[in-house]
């Protein structure tokens, strides 16, 4: 049999790397998802890493399937064989890297064990690492021991298993955390709250400098350091508005057009998945034991929350003259 060593090298390199990417990205995704299902103050929640690791996991599975197909094609063309030195070397290198990654992961989990973090999420992570480890042992053991007469059942089983796990992961993520469209809406609404808080702060600063509320937002542009926030969907016609209600009583409204309500289940789950939530005073640690997290600091002003419904919503605000007195001029 005449081997095509360059093609063998490229194909088996992609084969091994894609397998390792699938295993590692699945561990990363699983750990992040478990952190959200079982949140703890002592560790990161991993919300932002879920979609990234899921994307890498998906890409890895697709590449792995393509590499398996390429190997089957090489075998049919008799350009490779199980006894190929290139194949055996690449499998041994991949086996070493895979076991090294599992050893490091196990060491981290053991450190958590000795630090007293024997929790439900810890035990689930141990189970997942064991499952991935067993899969890796069977995979490499089968591949290294395979001959021309041996059917590649483990490789085919790995393909089927990877596809099934990928589908379950995608469905589970979208069902619990929302689709990419929902995630984009949450991100847009988060930016809107941040922008309205900025506008609210600028209005307060204007009052402290002038002793009166601004007639319109456009007058704030005369301040050198002011940059007008724009709605994430500004090009689609969405803008922020300001309503002066009563200048004497220092009452006004700041308004935005929101895509989701703050009591939406996906919004609440995201808030639970983060250590910090935004209120008028800024970012503060939250009490994740509550269905809807709130800052744990007793000094937080909860009289002006930023909860809103979907669609156009205006927040009623009043200048607190004790906390924000007018600056004295020389």
For residue 327, is it within any domain?
no
Examine the fold and report which residue of 142, 177, 212 is the final residue of a domain before the chain moves on: 177
Please indicate, yes or no, whether residues 66 and 193 belong to a single structural domain of this protein. Answer: no
- Beta-carbon contacts of 35 under 8 Å, excluding residues fewer than 6 positions away, are 43, 44, 45, 46, 121, 273
- Beta-carbon contacts of 4 under 8 Å, excluding residues fewer than 6 positions away, are 74, 79, 80
Please indicate, yes or no, whether residues 173 and 185 belong to a single structural domain of this protein. Answer: no
Please indicate, yes or no, whether residues 96 and 57 belong to a single structural domain of this protein. Answer: yes
For residue 299, is it within any domain?
yes
Please indicate, yes or no, whether residues 205 and 169 belong to a single structural domain of this protein. Answer: no
Instruction: Say if CB 79 and CB 86 are below 8 A apart.
Output: no
For residue 328, is it within any domain?
no
DSSP state of 236: G
Please indicate, yes or no, whether residues 189 and 206 belong to a single structural domain of this protein. Answer: yes
Please indicate, yes or no, whether residues 144 and 203 belong to a single structural domain of this protein. Answer: no
For residue 323, is it within any domain?
no
Examine the fold and report which residue of 134, 155, 177 is the final residue of a domain before the chain moves on: 177
For residue 154, is it within any domain?
yes
For residue 326, is it within any domain?
no
Sign of the alpha-carbon dihedral angle for 129, 132, 135, 141:
negative
Q: Is 313 helix (H, G, I), strand (E, B) or coil?
A: strand
Please indicate, yes or no, whether residues 125 and 147 belong to a single structural domain of this protein. Answer: yes
Please indicate, yes or no, whether residues 198 and 224 belong to a single structural domain of this protein. Answer: yes
Number of domains comprising the chain? 2
* Ordered mean pLDDT values, 10 residues apiece, the chain (330 residues): 67 84 89 80 61 90 88 72 73 80 81 77 84 80 68 71 92 89 91 93 90 89 77 90 93 95 86 49 42 40 75 93 80
**One-letter-per-residue 3-state SS of the chain:** CCCCHHHHHHHHHHHHHHHHHHHHHHHHHHHHHHHHHCCCCCCCCCHHHHHHHHHHHHHHHHHHHHHHHHHHHHHHCCCCCCCCHHHHHHHHHHHHHHHHHHHHHHHHHHHHHHCCCCCHHHHHHHHHHHHHHHHHHHHHHHHHHCCCCCCCHHHHHHHHHHHHHHHHHHHHHHHHHCCHHHHHHHHHHHHHHHHHHHHHHHHHHHHHHHCCCCCCHHHHHHCCCCCCCCCCCHHHCCCCEEEEEECCCCEEEEEEEECCCCCCHHHHHHHHCCCEEEECCEEEEECCCCCCCCECCCCCCCCCCCCCCCEEEEEEEECCCCCCCCCCCC
Please indicate, yes or no, whether residues 146 and 220 belong to a single structural domain of this protein. Answer: no
For residue 26, is it within any domain?
yes
Domain that holds residue 238: 181-318
Examine the fold and report which residue of 177, 197, 228 is the final residue of a domain before the chain moves on: 177
Q: What is the pLDDT of residue 276?
A: 35
Please indicate, yes or no, whether residues 91 and 239 belong to a single structural domain of this protein. Answer: no
Q: What is the pLDDT of residue 12?
A: 80
Residue with tokens 């809103």: 308
For residue 330, is it within any domain?
no
pTM (predicted TM-score): 0.71
Please indicate, yes or no, whether residues 263 and 275 belong to a single structural domain of this protein. Answer: yes
Question: C-alpha angle with apex 45: 54 to 130, nearest 5 degrees?
Answer: 60
Please indicate, yes or no, whether residues 242 and 294 belong to a single structural domain of this protein. Answer: yes
């Amino acid at each position: 049999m005449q081997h095509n060593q360059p093609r063998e090298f490229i194909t088996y390199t992609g084969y091994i790397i894609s397998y390792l990417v699938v295993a590692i990205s699945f561990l990363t995704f699983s750990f992040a998802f478990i952190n959200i299902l079982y949140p703890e103050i002592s560790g990161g929640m991993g919300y932002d890493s879920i979609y990234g690791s899921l994307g890498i996991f998906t890409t890895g599975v697709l590449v792995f399937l393509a590499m398996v197909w390429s190997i089957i094609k090489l075998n049919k063309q008799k350009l490779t064989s199980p006894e190929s030195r290139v194949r055996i070397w690449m499998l041994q290198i991949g086996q070493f890297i895979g076991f090294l990654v599992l050893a490091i992961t196990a060491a981290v989990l053991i450190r958590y064990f000795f630090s007293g973090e024997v929790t439900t999420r810890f035990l689930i992570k141990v189970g997942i690492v064991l499952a991935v480890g067993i899969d890796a042992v069977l995979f490499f053991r089968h591949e290294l021991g395979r001959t021309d007469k041996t059917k590649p059942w483990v490789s085919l089983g790995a393909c089927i298993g990877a596809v099934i796990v990928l589908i379950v992961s995608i469905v589970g993520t979208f069902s619990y955390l929302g689709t990419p469209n929902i995630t984009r809406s949450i991100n847009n609404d988060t930016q809107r709250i941040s922008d309205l808080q900025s506008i609210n702060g600028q209005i307060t600063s204007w009052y402290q400098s002038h002793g009166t509320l601004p007639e319109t937002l456009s007058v704030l542009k005369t301040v050198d350091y002011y940059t007008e926030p724009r709605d994430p969907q500004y090009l689609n016609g969405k803008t922020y508005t300001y309503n002066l209600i009563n200048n004497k009583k220092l009452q006004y409204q700041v308004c935005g057009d929101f895509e989701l309500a703050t009591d939406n289940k996906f919004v609440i789950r995201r808030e639970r998945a983060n250590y910090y939530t935004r209120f008028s005073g800024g970012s503060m640690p939250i009490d994740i034991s509550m269905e809807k997290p709130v800052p744990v600091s007793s000094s937080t002003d909860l009289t002006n929350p930023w909860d809103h419904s979907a669609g156009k919503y205006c927040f009623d605000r009043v200048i607190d003259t004790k906390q924000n007195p007018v600056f004295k001029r020389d």
